[in-house]
Amino acid sequence: MALKLYGAALSPCTSRVMTCLHEKEADFELVPVDLFVGEHKQLPFLAKNPFGQIPVLDDGDLSLLESRAISEYVAEKFKETGNDLIRHQSFKEAAEVKVWMEVESQHYHPEISPIIFQFFAAPLQGKSPDQAIIDENAAKLGKVLDAYEDKLGRTKYLAGDFYSLADLFHLSFTYYFMKTPCADLINDRPHVKAWWEDISSRPAFQKVASAMNFGENGN
């Protein structure tokens, strides 16, 4: 039975899981959730996720929320197929992957997500982007990227010289970020820029990016 992923292809969190599924060469069905009519905030979707957020993954009688947790589940379930995203054969490498997954969640995401919201979501709500919020978070993100520049000057990818979930987790939000005037924060850091160009050109993400038209056609 194919996995069922409830979400929207242009959603950064849905696209995170889709990228992981493609990396693992897993069969899945995307079940569209219409954000424009608030389907994610209504029944029957709320029965799947009471927090009203996408995506949700159904695997038989198992239903999972939260894109990072779902991606970890997929990487573990299909660890023998596709690309090894969790380094399950090396205890030390697996630990490095977990560290940088936490860095993305605790340091990178909190600074980049408000910028994405201001440039893409706020206009859909009839609001102008708040430049003060953008500037504040861009400054914070710059400091995070300084640490990334140092790390990526020593290893090809964040957890080592191998691609992993730690890198994959950055893809979808950074993809939208690179469409904003703040993109120089990455382009001006040569190691970070090379890393971004590398991970964003992977076939699994390219399959997903083609539907990520938030900036052109809305949420």
DSSP string, 46-67: HHH-TT--S-EEEETTEEEESH
Residue 139 binned pLDDT confidence (cut-offs 50, 70, 90): very high
DSSP string, 160-218: SSS--HHHHTTHHHHHHHTTSGGGHHHHTSHHHHHHHHHHHTSHHHHHHHTT--HHHH-
State pTM to two decimals. 0.94
Quote the pLDDT of residue 215.
45
Q: Which residue in 57, 189, 15, 164 sits closest to 101, CA to CA?
A: 164
- Please name the residues in contact with 212: beta carbons below 8 A apart, sequence gap of 6 or more: 9, 10, 12, 15, 172, 175, 176
Return the DSSP state at 106.
Answer: I
User: What is the average pLDDT score of the chain?
Assistant: 94
CA angle 48, 68, 40 (to 5 degrees): 30
Q: Does 18 have pLDDT greater than 80?
A: yes
Quote the pLDDT of residue 214.
63
For the chain, domains (ranges, CATH) are 3-82 (3.40.30.10), 91-206 (1.20.1050.10)
Quote the pLDDT of residue 124.
84
Residue 35 binned pLDDT confidence (cut-offs 50, 70, 90): confident
Q: Does 211 have pLDDT greater than 70?
A: yes
Q: Region 183-205: what's the mean pLDDT?
A: 98
Looking only at the bridges linking them, the beta strands covering 3-7 and 28-32 are: parallel
Q: Does 152 have pLDDT greater than 80?
A: yes
Question: Would you say how long the chain is, in residues?
Answer: 219
First to last CA, the chain: 30
Quote the pLDDT of residue 68.
98
Q: Does 204 have pLDDT greater than 60?
A: yes
Q: pLDDT (tens digit, 9 = 90+) per residue, 56-110?
A: 999 999 999 999 999 999 999 999 999 999 999 999 999 999 999 999 999 999 9
